[in-house]
Amino acid sequence: MVFSSITFLFYFLPVTLAIYYIVPNKFKNLVLLIASFIFYYFGEPTYVLLMAFSILSTYVFGILIDKNKKTQYAKVWLILALIVSIGLLVCFKYMNFIIENINLWLKHKIDFINVALPIGISFYTFQMISYLIDVYRGQAKVQKNILKLAMYVSLFPQLIAGPIVRYTTIENEIENRTHTMEKFAQGIRRFIIGLAKKVLIANVLGELCTTFLKTNEISVLYEWIYAISAMLQIYFDFSGYSDMAIGLGKMFGFEFLENFNYPYIAKSITDFWRRWHISLSSWFRDYVYIPLGGNRTSKIKWLRNIMIVWLLTGLWHGAAWNFIIWGLYFGILLIIEKLFLSKYLEKIPKVFTHIYVLILVMISFIIFNGESVNQIVTNITSLVGIGNISLTTPESIYYFKSYFIPIVIGIIGATPILKNIANTEKYKKIINILEPITLLVLFIISTSYIIDGSFNPFLYFRF
């Protein structure tokens, strides 16, 4: 089940909300827990037990860490907990990738293990790890009610594709959260905006990207259409999901932190990663980069720390070499900026720094979507006509005309232009009148597209 499905929009969500608001406050967490497990069962019936086991082990280890927090055994229990959590993640997500490379490099013939990737395992594993580390550090109180901990881990708005919600963020709201009509209305507004992002922009551009990867058509124009579309698709797909998750959180009384802040207006790659997938980059900063020493160490170790973080960031996104290359690519770019380039970026006009960021990020998503090194190299070099390819073809002109409007809408929507206009005093009264009508129209159009269309997967489900 996905948020952008008829089953979720017209059956699961209305029924869950109705029951949630009917029952007394003491039963609301239980309603959310049951609903979350039902939600996950629709997508992964086999791996519900795996998630339940992960929750149980996290609960037990949290208790043991807390009981021994003034002794050396707290670290022992934390290490054991991390071995279990990371071990399960490696087993289900990376084992076949490891076997594939062992077979390739050592000429072995080890059989692959027959397991599917559990949906959302990267997200809920990182949430459990952050909880355990925060308990160990004394930054979070241990949760002694297993049902409340299970509700936190399995909470369906953010279970499948984030944002990565830390226990400390909603610790107080698990016990006591407020429900108001204003917050509920804000949640509906945010959810519809996210749904429109996903269905009307990401899905439409996703169809183009899928067509491109299946065709042998090559031209400079077509490569640029694909590169820009892929860049916009992944942004609107993931930020749309995050918007829906944040909106659903508000409907149930939670305040999730923002996960995107217009990353395509960034002035540097460093700035880009302060704006893109904020929950992931801050997670690696607090639980990997800083514990390794961060930048408060020798220059060699500092550079090592950056590359470790970005190697892990790439691996987190998927068990394939293109993700590893993608992570290391950003690690190298960030090192170059931090060592000397940032001082020059500050001096040149902003328009050039924006172009610099957009081109490098566009290349990164070509790497991200690449199925082989040869394909990645071909797609990148074709952007500048290397390989004796034509500038345009009748097919590329056709796709340019067909997708011109969604691409332009996507470009405008990826900037704060509309938000800034809406917040000006001159237009606030008009916006207040038109907003409910606009949201209703967007919802109707989005659901119409869902009914008629078939392309509807969330890209981050595979993570």
Q: Name the residues annotated as catalytic.
A: 317
Q: Is the CB of residue 140 less than 8 Å from the CB of residue 168?
A: yes
Burial class of residue 321 in the structure, from the number of CB atoms within 10 Å of its CB (0-12 exposed, 13-18 middle, 19+ buried): middle
Residue that has been written with the tokens 């979507």 in this structure? 369
- The 3 state secondary structure assigned to 355-389 is HHHHHHHHHHHHHHHCCCHHHHHHHHHHCCCCCCC
Cα separation, 237 vs 224, whole angstroms: 20
Reduce the DSSP state of residue 85 to 3 states and report it.
helix
From the list 151, 119, 139, the residue with the least C-alpha distance to 55 is 151
Cα separation, 305 vs 335, whole angstroms: 11
Dihedral Cα 244, 2, 208, 331, nearest 10 deg: 60
**Other residues' Cβ atoms within 10 Å of the Cβ of residue 243:** 25
Going from the C-alpha of 403 to that of each of 293, 363, 396, the distances in angstroms are 47, 20, 11
HSE on the CB side for 76, CA within 13 Å? 7
From the list 1, 3, 2, the residue with the least C-alpha distance to 244 is 3
DSSP string, 198-241: IIIIIHHHHHHHHHHHH-----HHHHHHHHHHHHHHHHHHHHHH
Cα separation, 426 vs 309, whole angstroms: 46
Dihedral Cα 168, 169, 174, 176, nearest 10 deg: 110
HSE on the CB side for 70, CA within 13 Å? 0
Cα separation, 446 vs 240, whole angstroms: 13
Chain centroid to CA 96: how far?
23
Structure tokens at 254: 């939670």
- Does a cis peptide bond (omega within 30 degrees of 0) precede residue 457? no
Cα separation, 194 vs 282, whole angstroms: 22
